Structure 1
């Protein structure tokens, strides 16, 4: 039986002790599902994907039930680095080779739609989540800098995307004075935000649109059919359509998705407020991700803390000392912070695919699924929810384009895929450490 990460690392019905949770006003708890009910659509999972799907379906006039095993925004949607990046998780040159130039162009346009959707939802629903423009991509060598600059040229020439500024070493140092970085780019069309506040804002909007939200209602099974039934320990809902929006917390609900989407953990620490010393980390209010395979990503909070994501851990349980795990790569990037006070450190479970592209699929005639955002979920997950809502309403063009991306199953089946992933990740992290 597949391990269910809903129970591996977190207290039932409680947000993790993160800086995000400490700086958000949680919604009053929604009641669990009890007894039998009906709906036009049942959405399973109340992260960005499920919240977006439910909101858009309700706005289209459908009766929607949203079922969440823990709290809305409990998973990766409330714990991530908060970066709203441009493009898909796979770069456009990779997509051109994989899909051809025509579909690659469609995927670029969909990714631009995803950024625009997030920004428009924040504006429309007055979500206070500290949205700010700018994401820098920091390179580790002159060779990587040249590749990054060439890619910026490619986006400008082929896709007309001109919001990226190329940074040489001096310009990167002026932006981010870390001895580790050698140039990069700054994308002012990308953005960053407070991820849990964004999720809670989507939940408020969904509730206002008429979505029935049920928390602490773990789905135990789904009976497929012309009118499907979604079952929990205390009740069930029958519906014409089901949307799976579980990402890393799918467990054993659907084998086809589980073969192609692998849950992994990532970790973030928040320092004490740095005050004037924040300028030794970043001189502008932008986010940063670097070119390491095990990516370091960071930004300053609105109260001038460094929010730093990094470090790897293999196996499904979080390490006992998350602070120590994150402090190691943080100190490699910012040696002067080797003994800085860390006020919060937390982990979260996301999901990856082999090709690092989301897996969107029609897994039954009336059942859709989207997951596997591979660290690119702020925009991709929000947009995937809308694409599924559109498909339920009869407009499946965008969904079908995403679903055409090849989705290779992880090798080894349930027994071997985790050890094989651990082996691969260990190899790539060793290459990072050796500078290969």
Structure 2
């Protein structure tokens, strides 16, 4: 009997669409492209390549969507963890321009896939960035002006308290930036739908097939405990769950844990909390994010644990945050609490590149991965098909090791986060 690694005990896992249990890899198979990891990056690149006629094999250590792709907040948020003005300031317009031209593309890819493959994932339009102080409202205005400069016109800033409550019924906010092209969805069901789309195009996915090593060469060989894939190209798409597979990649990043809860179904109260049914995130450095599920639960997330330890009681971290936003939920039952890892880089920008002539990688979305993973999947497909111009725009970004190496990356990063948390508390 095949050993199965279960999904995290999340609301998403409990409400996922029916999906087949896929076999583990046994023996030797050949492929044009072998992808390590069945999350958004791996599946997005796999779909792009399979649609173009490539023979694609995906190796997943657990189950499809087991990592961050199946546990995240389920929010469509544009751009990158460091926005395009920071990229321009640090690296110049020549580097920033192509990235700016692509920073809204990931959301379009998600919607295209959902429509093309009829993926049932409760996709809804509309997102909100929320500010708690006048200074934070000013930052929202700057955010609006920046994105409009790059051609994104579907934004409106709301500062009237009565209008704010028509969108998010909380006393906590001084201003909201509405983005009609944002949105939210069931992240695990999106992942499962994309896996089915890959298979529909001839791709093969092996679950419970953790990769143990990758041999370089004109034909790369990707090994698991009971088999191997011989491939012309390899994509390493493990993100925070790469472990020791590629030490070079692990040394440039740090797994971080974030926590999420889902309440019991709230019925009519749900519509009172978020009348717009938009997803919401605040614009603090250590931010909270929340939205309603398809069955009217409040899904609320936040908090960061550097080094990705699993907290014993997720509810004790997140419920106080939820009650600051919605005190009317005092005493509400929490049905699910879970944690998952995202991968942080020192620059807070994605790390994209090649380990050898035919081994590609992408990692380190730094908490901003839902749209970027879909974008980079398309660019990985373009690069393998021979057009690497857009891929190289990201590959040019510098990759920095954490000061003090892997031993000190957690305390140094936590100290920096403490500083920004203090700034948030002071409204800076």
TM value normalised by structure 1: 0.93
TM-score, normalised to structure 2, is 0.95
Q: Give runs of ≥4 in structure 1 deviating > 6 Å.
A: none
Unaligned runs of 5+ in 2: none
Which residue of 2 is the match for residue 193 of structure 1? Answer: 185
Give me the whole-angstrom Cα distance separating, in 1, the residues matched to 2:81 and 2:270. Answer: 29
- Residue pair 2:379, 2:391 contacting (<8 A) in 1 also: yes
2:320 paired residue number: 328
Q: Structure 1: how far apart are the matches of 2:253 and 2:213?
A: 19
Once the two structures are superposed, the pairs formed by residues 291-302 of structure 1 within 5 Å of their partners are 291-302=283-294
Q: Deviations over 1:4-63 (max 9, x none)?
A: xxxxxxx95111121111211242111111112221111000000001111111111111
Q: CA deviation at 1:329?
A: 1.1
SS in 2 for 1:213: strand
* C-alpha distance in structure 2 between counterparts of 1:14 and 1:137, whole Å: 34
Q: 1:58 maps to which residue? A: 50
RMSD: 1.7
Count of equivalent residues: 425
Alignment partner, residue 152 of structure 2: 161
| Cα-to-partner distance string for 1:222-242 (whole Å, 9 max, x where unaligned) | 111111111111111111111
Q: 1:428 maps to what in 2? A: 420
With over 3 angstroms needed to count, the CA separation of the structure-2 counterparts of 1:151 and 1:419, relative to structure 1, is closer
- Show the counterpart of 1:264: 256
User: Which of 140-149 and 71-80 deviates more?
Assistant: 140-149
Residue in 2 aligned with 1:418? 410
In structure 1, list runs of 5 or more residues that go unmatched. Answer: 1-10
Aligned equivalents of 2:222 and 2:215: distance in 1? 6
Determine if the alignment matches structure 1 residue 248 to structure 2 residue 233: no
Partner of 2:303: helix, strand, or coil?
Answer: coil
Where do 1:66-145 residues align within 5 Å? 66-145=58-137
User: 1:285 is paired with a residue of what secondary structure?
Assistant: coil
Q: Which moved more, 1:122-131 or 1:254-263?
A: 254-263
CA contact (8 A) 1:149 1:184 kept: no
CA contact (8 A) 2:345 2:366 kept: yes
TM-fit CA distance, 1:280: 3.8
Task: Please tell me whether the aligned partners of residues 315 and 422 of structure 1 are also in contact (alpha carbons under 8 angstroms).
Answer: no
Equivalent residue for 1:282?
274
- C-alpha distance in 2 between matches for 1:402 and 1:366: 17
Deviations 1:344-392 (A, max 9, x none): 1111111121222211111211110011112221111011112111111
Offset, 1:102: 3.9
8 Å Cα contact 1:88-1:107 kept in structure 2: no
